[in-house]
Amino acid sequence: MSDGLTIISGTAVAETVLGELRHEIDALRARGRTPGLAVVLVGDNPASRSYVRAKDRMCQKIGLHSLKLELPATTTQQELVEVVQRLNADPAIHGILVQSPPPPHIDEAAIIRAMDPAKDVDGFHPVNVGKLAIGDPTGFVPCTPLGCQRLLVEAGVETAGAHVVMLGRSMLVGKPFALLMLGKGKGGNATVTVAHSRTRNLRETLLSADILVAAIGQPRFVKAEDVHEGAVVIDVGINQIEDPATEKGYRLVGDVDYANVAPKAAAITPVPGGVGPMTIAMLMSNTVKACRLAA
């Protein structure tokens, strides 16, 4: 194993973030303003319902106003747009999140565009994507890549001048994380390569990374031979694999073959307990920011 391997605990860093937020929330409440988050769930997807409950619990834990709206799977596109518009106009709500994925008949992109960009705490509205691209700090960055950047900063990883390889090109993680790493300031100034399933010589590209971030949605895709000695590895993936030895019959693994990659890495995130806790923490952070920026 490489000397001084650092296991980057998302659970620990998330607690640090939430501790900072509690102080800011207390200060806002002292001025008569309580940050409010509305989470909208359409249908009864069990995983989505679990995520919504977790977000609601976190709001209550740190003192945010939480509004949970559970709508039937038969909700029409227009009905959902009207719900979003009502939330846009509600001064007690600073952040709006429509839980993904919605039922197939819902045009998710259109729902995002119907949102007030100043309340889009998921950071998916075209206005916020544009603000990220031009480095406007008043925009909102998607929570998972923002959490990944915070993990690197908290772990003391130097990103300036480093070669970052982002494995995955989604709007959820890959593209916004690449923009974050290219940005100026702390946790940025990196040289970035975005790799994906169509990248030629993919394995060689991964091997060239000083910092490798995996978000490709394939269990244990990144192997030991893909990572050079002393690299930093951030595993965004969360995949269920069968495991009859466990009570549930499955267990969670990342997009990185952790057991074999960790001995070569200087620092690595586990799954679970790595990026996952940071996503909810940064959602809370974006909601507090929205309240702070609200007129």
**Where in the sequence numbering do the catalytic residues fall?**
55, 99, 122
Taking the CA atoms of the chain, what radius of gyration do you get in angstroms?
19
Which residue bears the tokens 């895709």? Answer: 221
Residue spans of beta strands (DSSP E) within the chain = 6-7, 36-42, 65-71, 95-98, 163-167, 191-195, 211-214, 232-235, 239-242, 250-253, 267-268
Tokens of 16: 């640090």
Tokens of 273: 């307990």
Contacts of 277 (CB under 8 A, 6+ apart): 10, 11, 13, 14
Residue 105 CB burial class (10 angstroms; 0-12, 13-18, ≥19): exposed
Instruction: Tell me the sheet residues that pair with 251.
Output: 241
Contacts of 22 (CB under 8 A, 6+ apart): 62, 63
Q: For 5, which DSSP code?
A: -
Report the first-to-last Cα separation within the chain, whole angstroms.
Answer: 52
Concatenated DSSP letters of 227-254: S-TT-EEEE---EEEE-TTSSSSEEEE-
Evaluate whether 136 touches 128 at the Cβ level (below 8 Å).
Answer: no
Tokens of 238: 């969360």
CA distance 142 to 119: 13
